[in-house]
Structure 1
Amino acid sequence: MTSLDQKLLRDLLHLKGQLVAISLIVACGIACLVSMLSAYDSLQLSQQTYYDRYRFADVFVQLKRAPDSLAARIAEIPGVQQVQTRVVVDVNLDVPKLAEPATGRLIAIPEQQMPILNDLFIRKGQYIEPGQREQVLVSEVFAQANNLEIGDTLGAVINERWQQLRIVGVALSPEYVYEIRGTELFPDNQRFGVMWMGREALGTAFDLDGAFNDVALSLMPGTNQSEVIFRLDQLLEPYGGLGAYPREDQISHQFINSEIESLAASAVMLPIIFLGIAAFLLNLVLARLVSTQRDQIAVLKAFGYSNLAVGLHYVKLVLAITILGAGLGTALGVWFGAAITENYARFYHFPVLEYRAGFNVVAIAIQVSVGAAVLGTLTAVKQAVSLPPAEAMRPEPPAVYRATILERVGLQRFLSPVGQIIVRNLERRWIQAALAIIGIAAAVAILVIGRYFEDATNYIVEVQFRQVQRDDVTLVFNEPLSGRARYELKQLPGVLQAESFRAIPARLRFQHQTHLTGLTGLEPQGELRRLLDQDLHPVPLPSNGVVLTTKLAEILGVNVGDPLTVEVLEGERPIRTVPVVGLVDELIGLGAYMDIHAINTLMREGQTVSGAYLSVDSYHLSKLYAELKETPAVASVALRERVIEEFDKTIAESFTIFTTVLVIFASVIAFGVVYNVARIALSERGRELATLRIIGFTKAEIAVILLGEQAIVTALAIPLGCGIGFGLAALITQAYDWELFRFPLIVTPASYAFAFFVITIAALGSGWLIRRQLNHLDLIAVLKTRE
């Protein structure tokens, strides 16, 4: 071992407290980077492998009814590689041991197993047998949520007839990696499930024998997707085509792609904060070390060590700290990444979702950490190698002191001697104080962001499911019913209030912008389904014109007063021009609303309804559920309270894990910054503090001088960090401004209080350690002066 390496070991032991704190901050940054990147790689690889092996389609479209012979014409569209025609219907289910009615999405599959688009991975059991009309495969997540096993039976209302379905297998499909109904944000796997049934049995049951109502296409590489969709819509228009859409707009794919993009963004943002602070602290520590070792550097150079050798000595010190942090961070990141991936497995369902932390991820983490550390300490290293031996032999020149701002304006008389010392030191070392404030503020911001996600989702639930959707039960009919259904709904057991709605598929067009969506007609004075503006004030529904959600208006580029072309994709498919008369601020999905009577007029129909919102007496819920299970006209039943329960059950646990990790990481930052800055201040001002002790200051008073500065720095950092956290929340709001849902900019006072509490505890802990060192200050040693 060389002399410089021995010196390196002594320096590391001497600075062990500070270096451990910095290593922990590096470890946090690397843990974020490794966990996010590895989870990103794992999720993306699982998605792509699953899509490729099980032939996930590129284009989807639903329609009313078309003969099987039309499939050949679809296949002739240039660029189409494979066509899969299907029968897809939603039915009411009676699930054993489940009081509420559930909704099953029945999808037709060939009687004989063969490669198809959106193919099935059979987890257990077997494929359906030809001619066995009652056999079905059920989705894995639906089976798990309801404890269903092979051989169990389900009751279903199929085309107004009650039928028993027998489970022969449990399966997964790339089409339902995230299994939700199209109008929901969170899955309700107990009350909504996908099932696959023989094509002949399902087609016959719904009068679609020799016909289909759903098409999936795969395209050849390099195909113009928009052109294929245009030709497909033209071809299916006479058959009630509801508008084709690409894979990018398929709801399951949208959710998982959004999650992958979020992981990629997080893998950049959080490590930058941690590693930037680590680089700042390394620069402080190394600069102070160089300052105290001026004479040692001079002796090394006098004995013939080159500038390169001296510079590498200090670089090795930085690398030792960084590699220690990178090693710990990599191990922590692999553990945390596995936990993230395991959590995703609860929402995204793949045949295999394996966690992978490849060598490339670890290599990137080490390179990033070393690069950040070296860049952050270049100034201090340059200072070490640039000192001439003769200059380095001399002590540092004394600092130049001048009156502070408070002293110039005469306010020092309001401060005690200890207070004046604190203010003077903060002003004279304002750059160090400012950097410390920024470091602690970053920790506060991280805590605010951790709580922001919980604040935002709680706000979504409160607004969307308690103020906008105020019904207890939402019914959707198999097909539009006459106005008589409005009165029959009120006769159902326990129904206190019923408000019907009319939903039609439509393509909205303004100038060159178009969007495929639904147009919903609501009762103008309805209380169970309200439209609210940004301030949560009810928006009246005019008798003429359309009200759009702000996100949909943004996509179309339309403002209030502009004429909007509505191309109805149902019935006689009328095309009408209606004015935009208002905007509402909804957080889930994209909506276009009209007075239900205006929609009936637009469709040139009577008082037709597509479903209803019900307010129900909870005492009669069981009777209502029993009757709805056997009502042929009902296709699906959604229960508002069950949606909220599922949210609390699935999301709350995820946020608990996420917030806990952020608390630990932010506490490490706060502790590392406060402890290092205070420790460096103690090292720099040891002589001054010892002198104060000798002239009569107590241990408590010199502790107040040193820790008072850190208390002021922390106090100034907390509001700054809250402001930065709010700003980052605003950026996240922009990043999560998706069609599926939008995050509101909501940060509650409880989140700020939480950040304040955690940072205060971390600062008190580091202050306690510094106080212990002050109590054991060697007055004789620190008062020695170099000659």
Structure 2
Amino acid sequence: MKNKTYLKATFREITKSKGRFIAIILIIFLGTLLYVGIKTTQPVLDHSADVYLKERKLSDLQVVSTGGITNADKDVLDDITGLSIESGYQFFYADAKKNEVIQVFSYDQENDQNHLELTSGVLPKKDNEILLDHLAKKEGYKIGDTYTINDHEQLKSTQFKIVGFVTSPLFISEVERGYANVGNGSVSYFAYLPKKLFKAEVEAVMYLSFANVKKYETYSNAYKEQMAKNTALIEDKLSQRPNARLKEIQADATEKLRLQKEKIATGKKELEKAQEQLQQAKDKLALQAAQISLLPEPQKTAAQQELTTAQKQLATNEATLKKNQSELATGTAEIKKTEATIKNMKEIVYRYNDRFDNVGFQEFGSLSDRIAAIADVFPVFFFFIAALITFTTMTRMVEENRREIGTLKALGYTKAEIAKKYVIYSLLAASIGLVLGVVSGTNFLPRIIFYLMSDRYSFNKAYVFYDWDPILKAIIAFLLATLGSALIVLTKELREKPAQLLQPKAPKPGKRIFLEYITPLWSRSSFNQKVSYRNLFRYKARMLMAIIGIAGCTGLILAGFGLKDSLSSVAAKQFGPIIAYQGIVSLEDDLPAADTTAITNALKNDEQVTSFMASHNETVEIRKNNQATQSLTLMVPTAAKEFEDYLHLHSKDNKVISLTNTGAVITQKMAEFYDIKKGDTLYIYDSKQQKQQIKIAGIAQNYLGSFLYMTRPYYEKVTNQKFSANSLLLKTNKMTTKEEDNLAQVLLDTKKVVNTTFISKQIETQNQSISNLNAIVWILVTLSGLLAFVVLYNLTNINISERVRELSTIKVLGFFDKEVTMYIIRENIIFTILGIIAGFGVGRVLTHFILDKASMENMVFPLVIKPAAYLYSGGLTIIFTLIVMLVTHFKLKHINMIDALKSNE
């Protein structure tokens, strides 16, 4: 009976203090929702992508050869256990009239990899049917239309019927399709044609799928590590194929050349014979012509007609002979050309592209990693503030019930029985908040973020699951904050005797505060102001907790806006302040200087191009024990001084860096990653894996990509190679997309340019990529604002409940309602102002910490917090304070003064 009555009292405590109970639930709910939700987002995004890719059976590795893929390539890999091999055709086609570039693939319904998904229409059943990328709908194409590809070298037909639109797992991005070496250099969409329509004797690409990675998720470290081993194995197996394939091509070409020579030799003999026959025919006609004059008149007319007919035939034979002579000369010239081609044939190159080389794949993974980096900091701090306020609330609750605890002890209740009420209270509040937070955080935040990203990626469904690691951490943290705080205070209170507990705690003695020593200020303060100032310093713990709570919430809101500002400032910090050129033209390898005339003429004739400069660009690697190999772009300009107009290099302390012949300049993030300092010696590996030793002469700021810069003399010195330019840096006026595409088309038409990349497209891609994070930032800001409101309300509520007798006393003494309200609110205003100021510092530190965690090897986020961010975060905190003040005013008006003053009797 005793326990039953006490249990009722427990639930009566909940109904009596509904505001506090709901506040604890809300704080735990918000903290758990954000922490679990954001921490679960990355694994949910990665898992959803993996499910999609496994359903569509995306290949793990693509092998592309400049010499094509043959059965010999497949045979080399046949002995690898668990390897599935498929192959196909692919090429780029440029439609100059429509300014479109299409990547054309072969379609084979029997293939088990890279399944297409129909968005509308049907799969091809006839040879003249084509499937188009669903993005082609935006260009106006419809099912049933005739589609033209005028490429007689690649295809057996030119006219096709559109029967369906599809998506392909090779392209998970919905906004880009990659780059090409034809047309304007940017792929518009892809197309699939039946395999039998392709003319080429050898296929272009080999798709590989490995059984030993199927158990891993694509974006997991385990998958990446295993695929690194798989790729190394494939490269080793195919290491002899480039030379062998070159010999095969040369042998085929030599055989064709031999047959061609034989044909030419036979043609020469036939031509000589035809010439003899023609001469004999001429001699015979000449003789006939001489004999006609001797014939009688009746026979002369008939003979003359026969002679005319014979002469016409002779003229026809003579024309045919000349045509054969011309063809023979052409054939002879082609033989010489083929002989030169065989002699100068370039080395065959095999390229190995894993999933992360597919369009949009790395971008999605990077986005997921950035969310994870934010989740490692922002929600944890949010969680800490929520737990701190919960701890404070539970502590104050137990302290308020001292008299009740004393009464129960006096009535013979054991410590365990007394503690039961607070255990139930804290467990109930924590359980409700945790369950609501876990369910909401897991089911809503990842789905919302996935939905907001869905317009940029092909993934069609979020596969949500409960990630028990953050859930268990949330449970432990909030149980410690609620149950732990209650037990800690109870342990202290239950040690006291009932007589002590039944007496209220003696108020803290008043004493002079430091403001009283500032006579001009103190003498001008009103009585109410003096009371407020004394109360502030009299209850320092309360003041400190209020300031910490408000500072934490303001800091969270500022960090949210700061993240938005910083993330959106990457392109602005990189392009302009650092990169001052507007485009890069990639030239064919080993292109002689004499062959660049057409390119330079095209650039000089374009009114928008103001200047250009040749440079050597290549990808090099840095390796270090126990650290991953990192790639960076080596850039060597023809003239270091002129290069300063194209690229502005600055050190971390913003000093100008100039290239010298005594060392190289490396970008900041790569230097930090490998702990490289100015003056250090570094080993790099070029594209041919040759090791070179360089000295670091400077470390430059950089936000996108990783670069290594050298002067031309220093490059030739350390590599022992002659400098050769393979790219051009362009400076232009502001150009429209159409003008950029036209210039790219003109440059590609020279047949000496591989690709033209404009900085404007990089800026657009970067901004689109960052825009995905803006939605997450707004979620963080919104939840931080809600937490700020609940924290302010809860702290004010605690303040009032602790001081109800004090407030009743001043009301009895004649204070008006507004004066009583201001008695509390004046303190809140001071707490809020100090909290906001401290919160600005907290927010800045928190933003810097998050950005540091979110930065990667190829991307650094600058710390940029615009004035508006401070205004919004401070303004929101003030608005929440005003709302709480209004609620407080009505609550203070209804204080029962008599009950409050009799509470200790």
TM bucket by the smaller chain? 0.7 to 0.9
Task: Describe how 1:125-524 pairs up with structure 2 within 5 A.
Answer: 125-127=121-123, 135=130, 137-138=132-133, 140=134, 142-143=135-136, 149-150=142-143, 168-178=163-173, 192-193=187-188, 195=190, 197=192, 209-210=201-202, 212=204, 216=208, 218=210, 220=212, 224-225=229-230, 227-228=232-233, 231=236, 234-235=239-240, 238=243, 239-241=347-349, 244=352, 252-264=360-372, 266-267=374-375, 269-303=377-411, 305-326=413-434, 328-330=436-438, 332-333=440-441, 334-350=443-459, 352-358=460-466, 364=472, 367=475, 369-370=478-479, 372-383=481-492, 386=495, 388-407=497-516, 413=523, 415-471=525-581, 475-476=585-586, 482-491=595-604, 493-502=606-615, 504-509=617-622, 515-522=630-637, 524=639
User: In 2, distance between residues paired with 1:358 and 1:277?
Assistant: 24
Post-superposition CA distance 1:540-589 (Å, at most 9, x none):
4557865432333445665555666665548xx98766655544322122
Q: Count matched residues.
A: 765
Tell me if structure 2 keeps the 8 A contact 1:343–1:654. Answer: no
1:15 aligns with one of 11, 14, 17: 17
2:444 aligned counterpart, secondary structure: helix
449-458 or 80-89, which deviates more: 80-89
Secondary structure (helix, strand or coil) at the match of 1:519 reads strand
State the one-letter code of the partner of 1:295.
R
Q: CA 1:442–1:219 in structure 2 vs 1: closer, same or farther (change >3 Å)?
A: same
Q: For the Cα contact (< 8 Å) 1:440–1:674, is it kept in 2?
A: yes
Q: Distance in 2 between matches of 1:165 and 1:472?
A: 39
1:717 is aligned with what amino acid?
G
The whole-number CA distance in structure 1 between the counterparts of 2:623 and 2:397 is 67
| Contact 1:310–1:384 (8 Å) recurs in 2 | no
Aligned counterpart in structure 2 of residue 742 of structure 1, from 856, 860, 864: 860
- More moved, 640-649 vs 761-770: 640-649
Which stretch shifts more, 597-606 or 50-59? 597-606
- What pairs up with 1:567-646 in 2 under 5 angstroms? 568-569=686-687, 580-594=696-710, 608-610=725-727, 613=730, 615-616=732-733, 618=735, 622=738, 625-626=741-742, 628-629=744-745, 631-632=748-749, 633=751, 636=755, 638-641=757-760, 644=763
Question: Contact 2:174–2:455 at 8 Å: present in 1 too?
Answer: no
Query: How far is 1:220 from its partner?
Result: 4.0
Secondary structure (helix, strand or coil) at the match of 1:65 reads strand
The answer to whether the 8 Å contact 1:156/1:164 transfers is yes
Q: Relative to 1, partners in 2 of residues 1:19 and 1:574: Cα closer, same or farther, differing over 3 Å?
A: closer
Q: Which residue of 1 aligns with 2:301?
A: none
**SS of the counterpart of 1:769?**
helix
Q: Is the 8 A contact 1:590 1:739 kept in 2?
A: yes
8 Å CA contact 2:563–2:851 kept in 1: the answer is no
Contact kept in structure 2, 1:243 and 1:569, CA below 8 Å: no
Does the C-alpha gap of structure 1 residues 25 and 550 become closer, same or farther in structure 2, counting only changes over 3 Å?
Answer: same
57-66 or 419-428, which deviates more: 57-66
- SS of the equivalent of 1:490 reads helix
1:658-693 residue CA offsets vs partner (Å, 9 max, x unmatched): 344333322222222222222222222233333334
Amino acid at match of 1:114: N
String of CA shifts for 1:187-226, please: whole Å, max 9, x gaps.
Answer: xxx964562545968985xxx7426477756374678457
Contact map agreement 2:560 2:780 (CA 8 A) in 1? yes
Match 1:113 to one of 102, 110, 113: 110
Q: Residue 594 of structure 1: CA displacement?
A: 4.7
The one-letter amino acid of 2:853's match is A
Contact 1:674/1:763 (8 A) holds in 2:
yes
Structure 1 residues 395 and 79: alpha-carbon distance in aligned structure 2, compared to 1, 3 A threshold: same
Q: Deviation per CA, 1:724-747, whole angstroms, max 9, x where unpaired?
A: 222222222222221342222333
Q: Does the CA-based 8 Å contact 1:80-1:228 persist in structure 2?
A: no
Residues 329 and 579 from structure 1, CA distance in 2 versus in 1: closer, same or farther, beyond 3 angstroms?
Answer: closer
Q: How far apart, in 1, do the equivalents of 2:64 and 2:670 lie?
A: 22
User: Greater strand share, 1 or 2?
Assistant: 1
Q: Post-superposition shift, 1:4?
A: 3.3
Greater Cα shift, 316-325 or 428-437: 316-325
Distance verdict in 2 for CA 1:309–1:723, change over 3 Å: same
SS of 2:557's equivalent in the other structure is: helix
Supply the distance in 2 between the matched residues of 1:181 and 1:360 (Cα, whole angstroms). 36
**Match in the other structure for 1:732:** 850
Report sequence identity in percent: 21
Q: Deviations over 1:407-461 (max 9, x none)?
A: 5787855644333322332223222222222221221221122112221222212
Question: Taking structure 1 as reference, are residues 618 and 256 closer, same or farther at Cα in structure 2, changes over 3 Å only?
Answer: closer
Greater alpha carbon shift after TM alignment, 460-469 vs 448-457: 460-469
Aligned to 2:254: none
Task: Tell me the distance in 2 between the aligned counterparts of 1:260 and 1:742.
Answer: 16
Contact 1:29 1:270 in 2 (8 A): no
Q: What one-letter code is carried by the residue in structure 1 that aligns with 2:73?
A: A
> What do residues 49-72 of structure 1 show as CA deviations (whole Å, max 9, x unaligned)?
334444445555655435525524
| Residue identity matched to 2:702 | E
In the alignment, the residues of structure 2 paired with residue 108 and residue 600 of structure 1 have an alpha-carbon distance, to the nearest angstrom, of: 42
Q: Which residue of 1 aligns with 2:264?
A: none
CA distance in 2, matches of 1:668, 1:283: 19
1:766 aligns with 2:866: no
> TM-score scaled by structure 2?
0.72
Q: Tell me, what secondary structure is at the counterpart of 2:34?
A: helix
Equivalent AA in structure 2 for residue 719 of structure 1: I
Any idea what SS the aligned residue of 1:395 has? coil
Counterpart residue type for residue 530 of structure 1: L
- Is the 1:528–1:615 contact (alpha carbons within 8 Å) kept by the matching residues of 2? no
Q: As a proportion of its length, which structure holds more helix?
A: 2
Offset from partner CA, 1:617-648 (integer Å, 9 cap, x none):
658x7466457557544655545445545666
Structure with larger Rg: 2
Quick check: 1:468–1:531 contact (8 Å CA) kept in 2? yes
Secondary structure, counterpart of 1:497 in structure 2? strand
> How far apart are residue 763 of structure 1 and its match?
1.6
Point out the more displaced range, 482-491 or 169-178: 169-178
User: Any conservation in 2 of the 1:37–1:361 contact (CA below 8 Å)?
Assistant: no
Residues 179 and 559 (structure 1 numbering): CA distance in 2 closer, same or farther, change over 3 Å?
farther
TM-superposition CA deviations, 1:519-549 (whole Å, max 9, x none): 3444642588424324677654557865432
2:51 to 49, 52, 60: 49
Aligned pair 1:658/2:810, yes or no? no
Helix, strand or coil at the partner of 1:455: helix
Structure 2 unaligned segments of length 5 or more: list them: 180-184, 214-225, 244-346
Alpha carbons 1:60, 1:246 under 8 Å: kept: yes
Give the match for residue 719 of structure 1: 837
Using a 3 Å threshold, how does the CA distance of structure 1 residues 365 and 492 change in structure 2: closer, same or farther? farther
